[in-house]
Amino acid sequence: MSTNSFGLTADLTGQIALVTGASQGLGHAVAVRLGANGAKVLCVARNAEKLADTVAQIQALGGEAVAMACDVTNRESIEKLFEQVETDYKRLDILVNNAGITRDTLLPRMTDVQWDEIIAANLTSCFLFSRAATRIMMGQRYGRIINMSSVSGLIGNAGQTNYSATKAGMIGFTRSLSKEMAKRKITVNAVAPGFIESEMTKALGDSIIDEVKKRVPANRLGTGDDVAACVLFLASRAASYVTGQVITVDGGMTG
């Protein structure tokens, strides 16, 4: 399948894509975009039931998708997932490390738990999934790894020292891993979204959203589709010479 209603397209027919945090938000948008372009999408989240909408949307577009329950902070759960991937599919072409959480508070008030939970969910999960994926991709001498960072990892954000640290860590991780994998035809890139429409931003209220828009030259919040289009390009064969890069999708905010 190479055409859909989203505009940008790529032929991912026959490829296996794994997207973490695929039950909502950016992960949902990315999974749907990859599935609409021919990839069979392994949709990962802690609760498989919450993935039903993502899987249904991909199938409605004529694509293939499977819900896979996995705690991205649990090494044993991840190992079992990849054993299933190798057994059932024999390959993995695209990995999108999207799963992440926030535990926002000013540093003097931050607890050890609030720090440790963020590191485990956002950064350690990226390491664990990428390590398992590269072992498969190296054998097939092809792969695409896309890590969902954030502009917070580039410029920081008050109340998010833990979150920003993980997103900056993902950028360093991306650049280092790209140098290890390039000769094996595996690209590794990061996407850094800015302010994106979500249930969280809706809860801020119109007045705060209007103030946020003033910080964005494009004068609007981004959408999940804006980010998914960038991921689709990086996941495609057309991006074979793009690796070790951080692409911001922020309406010019950090430009």
Going residue by residue through the chain (255 aa), what tens digit of pLDDT does each one get? 434 456 799 999 999 999 999 999 999 999 999 999 999 999 999 988 899 999 999 999 999 999 999 999 999 999 999 999 999 999 999 999 999 999 999 999 999 999 999 999 999 999 999 999 999 999 999 999 999 999 999 999 999 999 999 999 999 999 999 999 999 999 999 999 999 998 767 777 888 888 889 999 999 999 999 999 999 999 999 999 999 999 999 999 998
| Encoded tokens for 203 | 């809860």
User: Is the sign of the CA dihedral 31, 179, 142, 122 positive or negative?
Assistant: negative
88 exposure class (CB count in 10 Å sphere: 0-12, 13-18, 19+)? exposed
Predicted confidence at residue 6, as pLDDT, reads 61
pTM of the model: 0.95
Question: What does each C-alpha distance from 45 to 22, 90, 94 come to in angstroms?
Answer: 6, 21, 17
**Residues 33 and 14: beta-carbon distance below 8 Å:** no
Predicted confidence at residue 1, as pLDDT, reads 40
| Encoded tokens for 97 | 């490390």
| Encoded tokens for 220 | 């609007």
Please name each of the domains of the chain with its CATH number: 16-249 (3.40.50.720)
Degrees (nearest 5) of the Cα angle 2, 84, 130?
70
Catalytic residue, from 89, 142, 163, 241: name it.
163
Predicted confidence at residue 148, as pLDDT, reads 98
Our answer to whether residue 142 is catalytic in this structure is: no
- CB within 8 A of 65, min separation 6: which ones? 31, 35, 40, 41, 42, 43, 54, 55, 58, 59
**Residues 143 and 95: beta-carbon distance below 8 Å:** yes
Pairing of strands 186-193, 246-249: parallel
Predicted confidence at residue 91, as pLDDT, reads 97
Predicted confidence at residue 211, as pLDDT, reads 87
The residue written with tokens 């590794």 in the block is: 188
| Encoded tokens for 58 | 């991909």
